[in-house]
Structure 1
Amino acid sequence: MGNNASAEKERLELEKKKIDLNEKERQLIAENSKKKMELEDEAPRKRDIDLRTEESKRNYELQRRKADIEHQHKIAELIAQMKQTKLQTGKELVFTYMKTINMIIDQNSNIFRSSEPLLNQLKDERLPEPIKNTIQNAINKAFMGYMNTQELLDYTKHQVNDLQLKQDDEFTRLLGFAVDQELITEKNKLYLLE
């Protein structure tokens, strides 16, 4: 009986161990199934995250390109506007040049008109010499304001050049500001200054 009790005890212990092993096996199978399900759930999630990341990258690149195109478009508009301004400035310079020439011609005409009666008086031989000298001095003073053709052209050219230099300096300053603000490149600036 002692052997039977001992064998029974051993059998019970083996059975208990078998039950424990079966329980552990079920737990491992359950854990493996759970992990497998988690991995199966995680794979689509990871793929979904990867797809969203790729889509975000594409959208970012698309937005960056769109912004770059808009920036280039604004630069092109600015260049066209500056070219138009430069053309308009050139027209204004020609107008100023012509206006200045016209004013000087009017001034010369007025000098001639105002001096004509005095010149006619000088033709009178009966006038005493001191009066003739006085008339001659008046004529000389009047003609001091007279400009001959070359003086007229030189004066006007000088005035227009000064105005053009001021406008060119302002234009260059504005372009420098645009380059500093990264609105245009140095190459665009040089193109506009041509």
Structure 2
Amino acid sequence: MFESAAFIISNTDYKKCPKPDLPEFAFIGRSNVGKSSLINMLTDKKNLAKTSGKPGKTQLINHFKIDESWYLVDLPGYGYAKTSKKNREAWEMMISEYLINRENLQLVFVLIDSRLPPQQIDLEFIDWLGENMIPFALIFTKADKQSINKGQQNVAKFRKTMKANWEELPPIFLTSSESKFGKEKVSEYIQEILES
């Protein structure tokens, strides 16, 4: 679906990001949610984003240029990471400043582990995005690690929990980086936004 993907720059400050002259889509989720694997699956590049069994591998704002026409941004995970409180606070500051101030940001994809019941930390982050009027969609990952049925049940639980605070739910995708399940739907959604 996407032809070319190239790493452009990593940094800790949104002011040093590439010129905001192309649409941008950011990917974020709890540590170890399978973000790098999903980015590699979407771009058909095995090692575009560095995957790791260790949570907290991504510590910078990473920009990748896709098809010379938009940026895919890999953001550090929130939540668990074996690092000092000071480091974690610095990450959170870096992420929130980027999300609030980046004018060409079209959408944030929030990644959620489809094997788990709704997690407080995910719900809080989503509410924060809502409060700051930042558009987002949800991608439930690791669908291949259990039956699709079980994954869909957890997605349904999540939707139900969100309905307590949200009148309208965001777009929701179920994916597997292993089997490439959901790849087309996510790619098409990005394409739709780019065309509009």
Q: TM-score, normalised by structure 1?
A: 0.16
Q: Determine which structure has more spread, i.e. the larger CA radius of gyration.
A: 1
Q: Normalized per residue, which structure has more helix?
A: 1
Q: TM-score, normalised by structure 2?
A: 0.16
